[in-house]
Structures are given as C-alpha cells and as structure tokens.
Amino acid sequence: MADADNTEAKNYAADVPMRSEPFFLKGSNNLDWGMKNRLAAIFNPSSGRTVMLAFDHGYFLGPTSGLERVDLNIVPLIQYADTLMLTRGILRTSIPPTYTRGIVLRASGGPSILKELSNEEIAVSIDEAIRLNVAAMAVQVFVGGEHETRSVHNMTRLVDMGNRHGIATLAVTAVGTEMVRDAKYMRLATRMCAELGATYVKTYYVDEGFETVTAACPVPIVIAGGKKLPEAEALQLAHNAVQQGAAGVDMGRNIFQSEAPVAMIQAVRGVVHKNLSPKEAYDLYLTLKDGDEHPADS
Ligand code: R5P
C-alpha cells in the first residue's frame, strides 16, 4: 500500500520538455503501443534489424532436410534468434514456452508441394494467435500467381484481424518458379503488400537494384535466405541485403542445413547486428564451427 502520509510531490522538472522519440522501425511510427511493443520483440531496437529463424517449411513440404527433428535440430538454435517463424503445431509441440522473444506464426496454408501452392487460405484464427501470444502472423502473397487475388485478400483479412489486437502482419512474397526474380517484380510485390497494410514484408534479395526495392517499400523488408548456399555465399547475401536497406533476414535453410548451424546463426547475427563484413563473418563461422555439430548426427 502506498504511503498515506506521502509528502507533496515537487520534482516536476518543469524546464525539461518530455521526450517524444520516433519509433525505430521504418513506417511504424503511427502504430499503437502494443503493436510497437510486439515489433520490438521481433526487431532488435539497438540495431533496428532482426535475425528471424525460419522453420515453417513443413507446412507445405513436410519434414524437409534439416527439419526432421525440430527438437534436436532447431531448439539448440533458438537462443541465437531474435524471433522464430514457425507453425502453431511446431510451436506447441516442440518449442519451450520459456522462449520469451517474439513469435511469428505461419497463418496461411492449404496446398502441399504436390498441388498449386498459391491456392492458400487463412489457416489460423485470431483467437488462436492471441492465445499463443504471437507478435506477428505471416501470410504468403502470390503476386502474379494463379490465386493472386485470394492470397492478397488473405493478407488484408489478417491485417484487419491483427490490427484490431495489435498483432503485426508479415507479408511473405512468394515468387512462382515461372516468374522472373528481378527488382521490378520485387518492387511491385513488396509495395503492394505495404500499401494493402502489411506491417513488414519478406522478399528475396536480387543482385541488381535491391536498394530500389527497399527504398520504394514504406515498411521494413527482411529477406528470405532461399536455397542452401555455401556458408560464405549466404553470409555475403545477408551482408548485401542489409547494406542495401533490408531490416534483417528471415533465414531458414542456410542456417539449419548448414554443416554447423549454431556457428552459422551466430555469423549471420554478426552481419545483421554488427555490420561484420562477409569475410569477418565467415572467419567467425569457421572459428565457431569447431565446437558445433548437427545435434541429430550425434
Ligand atoms: C517458406 O517455406 C517459408 O516462408 C520460409 O520461412 C522462408 O522461405 C524462409 O526460409 P528460407 O531461408 O529457407 O528460404
């Protein structure tokens, strides 16, 4: 109970104006407190960037390489991630609830790799997202794909649901194999997602003109790692992306399929949060690698 005989308060610092600072993330200044608080559990407020560890691939691929045993392959990595991108099934079954950083929940799904992938629906309710205490919901957007309009509407419905409760929406631009992966396409897809309400957008890095993609998108962009590359190349990719305006990476295969995943995620962190050069990061990877091994191999 507060002191009943409290002396009169007088330390008002009347000559010190109250600070009013912009929020650290691009395009996020006008969001509500709860949404900003959740975004701060995804992005590191000091660097303004994130290392999202993505392992939601099973939602259409099943147990792909490196994800055979999430408890053995992924759980040892989670302490190094700023946030986890995953499905609710894996969250409930395999991730300790003591994990306190933001959760980015895969919220769309339907078709398997055997069918037309753009034929997705929203695959989670807002009640479930709240119950799981997620920071963001992720939805695939197939610009130019067969079910383009439906996937865009999946996103806008999630944005409406999420905004009502202060939960962010990550739009994941899915590029069909028949599409050209260039800056022109990425500008179109990312800008559409931002204009239609996505809180942040995931896309792929392109060698030519990626800085125009980040410049034209009024919300943060993170890049997917894509197919497994040699570690030095994956670190170069992450470096290029953040130096050209990406607010981090949403990386899966290039971490969990690495020969030394614990070393790799720490090297990626060096690139994203400390601006390590690709060479410095690769040297760090090699140094840490000695003590690292695939848990499932042991
Ligand atoms: C697709 O399965 C998911 O959206 C992944 O989370 C995304 O592609 C990032 O993973 P990766 O770095 O393996 O491409």
Distance (Å, whole) CA 163 – CA 289: 42
Confidence band of 298 (pLDDT split at 50, 70, 90) = very low
| C-alpha of residue 218 to centroid of ligand 1, in Å | 22
The response to whether residue 252 sits with its C-beta less than 6 Å from ligand 1 reads yes
Helical packing angle, 261-274 and 231-243, nearest 10°:
20
Helical packing angle, 278-289 and 261-274, nearest 10°:
150
Query: Where would I find the beta strands (DSSP E) of 10-130?
Result: 50-54, 83-86, 102-106, 108-109, 121-122
Confidence band of 34 (pLDDT split at 50, 70, 90) = very high
What percentage of the chain exceeds 70 in pLDDT?
96
Interval 237-287: pLDDT, tens? 999 999 999 999 999 999 999 999 999 999 999 999 999 999 999 999 999
| Architecture per CATH, 33-257 | Alpha-Beta Barrel (3.20)
Q: Are strands 136-141 and 168-173 parallel, antiparallel or unpaired?
A: parallel
Ligand 1 atom at minimum distance from 249 CA: 12
| C-alpha of residue 254 to centroid of ligand 1, in Å | 10
Q: What is the pTM of this model?
A: 0.94
Closest among 87, 217, 108, 115 to 153, alpha carbons compared: 108
| C-alpha of residue 289 to centroid of ligand 1, in Å | 23
- Residue type (1 letter), 198: A
Residue 287: count other Cβ atoms within 10 Å of its Cβ: 12
Q: How far is CA 277 from the centre of its chain?
A: 22
| C-alpha of residue 265 to centroid of ligand 1, in Å | 15
Give the active site residue among 202, 227, 228, 274.
202
Interval 220-243: pLDDT, tens? 999 999 999 999 999 999 999 999
The response to whether residue 250 sits with its C-beta less than 6 Å from ligand 1 reads yes
The answer, yes or no, to whether residue 28 has pLDDT greater than 70, is: yes
Closest among 189, 164, 213, 221 to 43, alpha carbons compared: 221
CA-based R_g, the chain, Å:
20
Residue 244: count other Cβ atoms within 10 Å of its Cβ: 18
End-to-end CA distance of the chain: 56
Helix (H) or strand (E) holding 192: helix 183-195
Give the mutation target among 139, 250, 265 for probing the ligand 1 site: most ligand atoms within 8 A of CB: 250
Helix (H) or strand (E) holding 40: none
The answer, yes or no, to whether residue 295 has pLDDT greater than 60, is: no
Q: Among this protein's residues, is 202 annotated catalytic?
A: yes
How confident is the model over 48-74, as a mean pLDDT? 96
User: Is 260 in contact with 232 (CB distance < 8 Å)?
Assistant: no
Torsion angle of C-alpha atoms 187, 193, 195, 197, degrees rounded to 10: -160
pLDDT value at residue 290? 86
Distance (Å, whole) CA 141 – CA 188: 12
Q: What share of the chain is helix, strand, coil (3-state, %, to 5)?
A: 40, 15, 45
Residues 3-34 as b or e (16 or more Cβ within 10 Å = b)? eeeeeeeeeeeeeeeeeeeebbbbebeebeee
Distance (Å, whole) CA 119 – CA 3: 62
User: Is 245 in contact with 215 (CB distance < 8 Å)?
Assistant: yes
The response to whether residue 225 sits with its C-beta less than 6 Å from ligand 1 reads yes
The answer, yes or no, to whether residue 105 has pLDDT greater than 50, is: yes
Distance (Å, whole) CA 253 – CA 225: 7
Q: Which position has the higher pLDDT, 196 or 178?
A: 196
Ligand 1 atom at minimum distance from 172 CA: 4
Distance (Å, whole) CA 253 – CA 29: 33
The answer, yes or no, to whether residue 2 has pLDDT greater than 80, is: no
